[in-house]
Structure formats: structure tokens, C-alpha cells
Amino acid sequence: MVSECTPIFHWSDIDPDGTWIFRMIERAIGRPIRPHLMSIEIAKRSGQVPPKKAAPARCPSDSGIAALAAYLAGEGAKILEQEELDPALPQVTARRSALV
């Protein structure tokens, strides 16, 4: 098993399906994961308002994707396919609790 100190990242589309996939993985492994290249800022900067709106995954407030899911539920939210972004490694920052 992977150490609890090791961060787990997920990169998917910035859309309702992407939030659903994120939540499925988060529930399956039973620990928090971090979104990678899945932010509100990226959606606003590079995304498009979809012609048809779909509901994002329901997320508890402590989910790593909760803020993005809340944004996607709002009017005028933009979505983005992950293929439209260039891959990049995540920036890993140590959490204080992981260092103690």
C-alpha cells in the first residue's frame, strides 16, 4: 500500500464526468486525492460554456474536487477536455502534518 504521506493526484476532464470519475477513485481508495490540472482558474481561462448543462458529482465539502464541482453546478460554468492541455507534472508541496 502507498504511504498516507504520499499524495495521489488525478487528472481528468474539467466537466461533470471528470468530477464523477474523481469521486469514484476517491471513494474507492478511501483517502483524499488531489486534482491535477483541474481547477476553476483553468476552466475560466481555457474552457467553453457547454451547449447543454449536466450535473457534476455530488461531493462532500472535504473532497478534493468539491470546489470545482460547485463551480460546475453554477450558471455560465466553463468545461474543458483534458486533451486540450499540455501534460505537466504536479507541484508537490509537503503538508506539515505529513512531516511530523
pLDDT of residue 4: 86
pLDDT of residue 21: 97
91 pLDDT band (50/70/90 cuts)? confident
14-66 pLDDT, tens per residue?
Answer: 999 999 999 999 999 999 899 999 999 999 999 999 999 888 888 999 999 99
DSSP state letters, 7-52: --EE---BSHHHHHHHHHHHHHHTS--EESS--HHHHHHH-B--SS
Please tell me whether residue 99 adopts helix, strand or coil conformation: helix
Q: Give me the half-sphere count of Cα atoms (radius 13 Å) on the Cβ side of residue 86.
A: 1
Residue 4 vs residue 70, higher pLDDT: 70
